[in-house]
Amino acid sequence: MVSGRKTKELLISSVVKDPPPPVNLSYTPDERVTAFKLLGVHVASDLKWTQHIDAIVAMVNYMHFLKQLK
């Protein structure tokens, strides 16, 4: 059985302007998201890299902060 709570729907490109009706699994509508993380890569609905780059910069800054605590 598919859990609707775990299922996400990402609309890409021109579909965002005129969205189709939501997909229903197990009688609950799926959550529509504008971005998600897939295999470590942040995928956005506009297919731009800004969110992925921001996440990498934040991770590097955090690692630098941890290194300074040594």
Residue 56 CA to residue 42 CA, distance in Å, equals 10
Q: What is the pLDDT of residues 6-58, one digit of tens each?
A: 778 888 876 656 777 777 776 677 788 888 898 999 998 888 899 999 999 99
Give the pLDDT band (50/70/90) at residue 61: very high
Q: Domain ranges for the chain, please list them.
A: 8-69
Q: Which residues pair with residue 36 across a beta bridge?
A: 43
Q: What is the pLDDT of residue 58?
A: 94
Residue 12 CA to residue 35 CA, distance in Å, equals 10
Kindly report the pTM of this predicted structure: 0.62
Res 1 pLDDT > 50: no
Q: What is the pLDDT of residue 53?
A: 94
